[in-house]
């Protein structure tokens, strides 16, 4: 059989961890080949080796049957390999064209020839249905569009083999559908695609074959059409996984969080949250659904103290908190799992143990009279790492930046749930997590609810909203268009409400 890419018996070690343990991956020309594994299974490491970011300790790589030595990304580019990274590598105040030609600018008459580059980008954009404006600035376009710019960057460099690293982690359901159409078109034009993911639904929808990695080892390569989702999940996690959330009927307590006529502006000074009111009782989970960009992020930031409230009230257990700072809100019983783990969740260059006490470092037993108690901090951190299965090379002493995204997320969730606050605001808690971790986090959220806590869950994953919430509030253009009971609704009704039609049997 002719393969376009062969990675044979690849091994790669980092301090304290074997990331790739003798893995083999073979890609057929013109296929979409999924690479499936839990967080920290070694998927990104394997692809970083193919793209020349890491050097393998052992093993050989062949491109179109020839053995190659990929010492850096420029070599990979010359071999026709391109990669769209999970966290995009774009210069925000440059235009689309400036970003795409960066590093391979053509000069005419002493100046960079932007015009002919823009024309070629326009052609590529039309050919693959990308609809990108070559003159737009990166900071002015959506995340989905930024990803298309990354795809164009590869195509502009004539890549034949395209690697997508968790490409749907930051996209809305609509953008995911569009991305899949783009991938199908790329393959039709003769490209081959490697898709790193842990979303089984997407693999079923788009991939031809799938190689599964668990804890650094290659487990199997399967034909997607002939393999059930349950089977793939089991190969990936090493045990059977339940896709439904087990929970009893909610036992409701008093109203712990009340939002009254809240108005919040976005970064451009426009109203993002328009006169929103709702309440959450202890013992229930209220899901917040909607297409990305309809005010959910601003609402969550206003409640947690990251954004100023223009008018209206936020009442936590009878106390108004809209004018308190973040630490005060935390002290009166508000917990927050933030949407952007790098910006608001972690200090990436700190040790993992220091991230575990970010909100409590000034309290006993972690410090006394301003001096940190390292023994207590280590003890606490070790317990959380163990309890929440946070995987890292050197345990509490791991530099947080070096961990996989999913394990960084687990660390934040461990810290926030362990504090067991009265009201927990949870934004996109399972973004970038695999089925095993998702199952665990959903279980922990339901446990908090059963302890009588009030939980606001904001997620763009409709399955998650339907599965975990007791009631669901749908936001559209800054308003709550309706609040429905999760047992009496479905994806279809929610989808219509997300597009702005009034719904629900409990409207305000």
Question: Percentage of the chain surpassing pLDDT 90?
Answer: 74
CA distance 150 to 130: 11
* pTM for the predicted model, two decimal places: 0.74
Q: Report residue 293's pLDDT band, with 50, 70 and 90 as the boundaries.
A: confident
Task: Assess if residue 73 is contained within a domain.
Answer: yes
Secondary structure letter of residue 496 according to DSSP: H
Is 299's pLDDT higher than 90?
A: yes
Averaged confidence pLDDT in the chain: 92
**Strand extents, DSSP E, 266-302:** 271-281, 284-289
Residues 206 and 279 grouped into a single domain: no
- pLDDT for 503 equals 63
Q: pLDDT digit string (tens) for 70-86?
A: 999 999 999 999 999 87
Strand partners, 223: 209
Nearest to 404 by CA among 122, 153, 37, 154: 37
In this structure, are residues 238 and 214 in contact, taking their beta carbons and an 8 Å threshold?
yes
Q: 53 lies in which domain range? A: 5-237
Give the position of tokens 């002719």: 2
Q: In this structure, are 34 and 128 located in the same domain?
A: yes
Percentage of the chain surpassing pLDDT 70? 98
- Same domain, residue pair 134 and 226: yes
Question: Per mean pLDDT, which range of 25-29, 360-364, 380-384, 459-463 is the poorest?
Answer: 459-463
- Look at residue 364 and tell me if it is in a domain: no
The CATH number given to whatever domain includes residue 316 is 3.40.50.300
Instruction: Tell whether 119 is covered by a domain.
Output: yes
The answer on pLDDT for 506 being more than 80 is no
Both 156 and 12 in a single domain?
Answer: yes
pLDDT at 477: 93
Task: Inform me whether the pLDDT recorded for 355 exceeds 90.
Answer: yes
Average the pLDDT over 381-404 and give the result. Answer: 93
Cβ pair 71, 52 in contact under 8 A = yes
- Parallel, antiparallel, or unpaired for β 471-476 and 284-289? parallel
Q: What is the pLDDT of residues 100-112, one digit of tens each?
A: 999 888 888 888 8
CB 169 within 8 Å of CB 457: no
Collapsing DSSP states into helix, strand and coil, what is residue 272?
strand
Q: Has residue 319 been placed in a domain?
A: yes
Contact 388, 414 (CB under 8 A): yes
- Distance, in Å, from the CA atom of 168 to the CA atom of 206, rounded to the nearest integer, reads 13
Is there a single domain that holds both residue 215 and residue 311? no
Residues 270 and 194 in one domain: no
The pLDDT value recorded for residue 507 is 40
- Using the 8-state DSSP alphabet, how is residue 294 labeled? S
Cα separation, 319 vs 26, in Å, equals 60
Are 318 and 188 in the same domain? no
294 near 497, Cβ under 8 Å?
no
Task: Give pLDDT tens digits for 236-291.
Answer: 989 888 878 889 999 999 999 999 999 999 988 999 999 999 999 999 999 999 98
Domain check: are 17 and 54 in the same one? yes
| 400 touches 390 (CB < 8 A) | no
- Compute and round to an integer the Cα radius of gyration of the chain: 24
> Could you tell me if 39 and 198 are in contact, meaning their C-beta atoms sit under 8 angstroms apart?
yes
Instruction: Tokens for 219, please give them.
Output: 């487990």
Of 237, 265, 290, the position where a domain reaches its end is 237
Co-location of 177 and 280 in the same domain: no
Q: Does the structure show a pLDDT above 60 at 21?
A: yes
- Number of domain units in the chain: 2
Last residue of a domain, one of 192, 209, 237: 237
Q: In what order do the strands lie in the sheet with 66-68?
A: 17-27, 5-14, 58-63, 66-68
Residue 71 lies in a domain: yes
* Same-domain check for residues 156 and 305: no
445, pLDDT greater than 90: yes
pLDDT at 504: 52
Q: Is residue 488 part of a domain?
A: yes
Q: What pLDDT does 464 receive?
A: 93
Domain boundary among 210, 237, 264: 237
Q: Quick check: is 400 in a domain?
A: no
Report yes or no on 187 lying in a domain. Answer: yes
What mean pLDDT is predicted for residues 375-387? 96
Q: In terms of DSSP bridges, do strands 454-458 and 334-337 run parallel, antiparallel, or are they unpaired? A: unpaired
CA dihedral 237, 243, 246, 250 (to 10 degrees): 130
Please indicate, yes or no, whether residues 229 and 259 belong to a single structural domain of this protein: no
Residues 160, 305 share a domain: no
Give the sign of the dihedral formed by CA 143, CA 390, CA 439, CA 449: negative
- Name the residue with tokens 């470092």: 361
Angstrom distance (rounded) from CA 147 to CA 156: 14
Pairwise pLDDT comparison (334 vs 17), residue with the higher score: 334
More confidently predicted of 492 and 442: 442
CA angle 224, 226, 227 (to 5 degrees): 65
């Amino acid at each position: 059989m002719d393969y376009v890419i062969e990675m044979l018996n690849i091994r790669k070690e980092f301090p304290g961890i074997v990331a790739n343990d003798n893995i083999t991956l073979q890609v057929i020309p013109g296929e979409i080949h999924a690479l499936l594994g839990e967080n920290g299974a070694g998927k990104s490491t394997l692809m970083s080796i193919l793209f020349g970011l890491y050097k393998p300790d052992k093993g050989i790589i062949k491109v179109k049957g020839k053995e190659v030595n990929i010492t850096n990304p420029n070599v990979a580019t010359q071999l026709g390999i391109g990669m769209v990274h999970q966290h995009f590598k774009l210069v925000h105040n440059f235009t689309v064209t400036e970003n795409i030609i960066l590093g391979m600018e053509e000069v005419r008459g002493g100046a960079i020839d932007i015009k002919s580059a823009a024309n070629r980008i326009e052609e590529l954009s039309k050919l693959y249905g990308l609809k990108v404006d070559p003159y737009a600035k990166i900071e002015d376009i959506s995340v989905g569009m930024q990803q298309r710019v990354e795809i164009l960057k590869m195509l502009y460099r004539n890549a034949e083999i395209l690697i997508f690293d968790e490409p749907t982690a930051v996209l809305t359901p609509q953008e995911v559908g569009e991305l899949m159409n783009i991938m199908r078109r790329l393959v039709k034009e003769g490209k081959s695609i490697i898709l790193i993911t842990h979303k089984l639904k997407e693999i079923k929808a788009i991939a031809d074959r799938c190689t599964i990695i668990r804890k650094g080892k290659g487990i199997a390569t399967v034909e997607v059409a002939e393999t059930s989702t349950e089977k793939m999940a089991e190969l990936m996690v090493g045990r059977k996984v339940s896709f439904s959330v087990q929970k009893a009927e909610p036992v409701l307590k008093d109203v712990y969080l009340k939002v009254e006529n809240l108005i919040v502006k976005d970064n451009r000074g426009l109203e993002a949250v328009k006169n929103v009111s709702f309440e959450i009782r202890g013992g229930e989970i209220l899901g917040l659904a909607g297409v990305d960009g309809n005010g959910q992020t601003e609402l969550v930031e206003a409640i947690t103290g990251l954004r100023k409230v223009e008018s209206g009230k936020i009442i936590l257990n009878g106390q108004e908190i809209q004018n308190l700072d973040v630490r005060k809100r935390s002290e009166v019983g508000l917990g927050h799992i933030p949407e952007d783990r790098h910006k608001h969740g972690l200090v990436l260059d700190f040790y993992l143990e220091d991230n575990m006490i970010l909100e409590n470092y000034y309290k006993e037993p972690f410090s006394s009279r301003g001096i940190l108690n390292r023994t207590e901090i280590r003890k606490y951190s070790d317990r959380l790492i163990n309890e929440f299965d946070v995987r890292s090379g050197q345990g509490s002493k791991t530099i947080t930046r070096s961990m996989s995204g999913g394990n960084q997320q687990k660390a934040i969730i461990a810290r926030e749930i362990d504090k067991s606050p009265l009201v927990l605001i949870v934004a996109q808690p399972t973004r970038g997590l695999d089925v095993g971790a998702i199952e665990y986090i959903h279980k922990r959220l339901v446990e908090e609810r059963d302890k009588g806590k009030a939980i606001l869950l904001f997620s763009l994953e409709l399955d998650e909203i339907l599965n975990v919430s007791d009631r669901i509030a749908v936001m559209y253009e800054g308003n709550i268009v309706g609040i429905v009971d999760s047992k009496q609704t479905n994806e279809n009704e929610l989808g219509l409400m997300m597009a702005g039609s009034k719904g629900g049997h409990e409207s305000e």
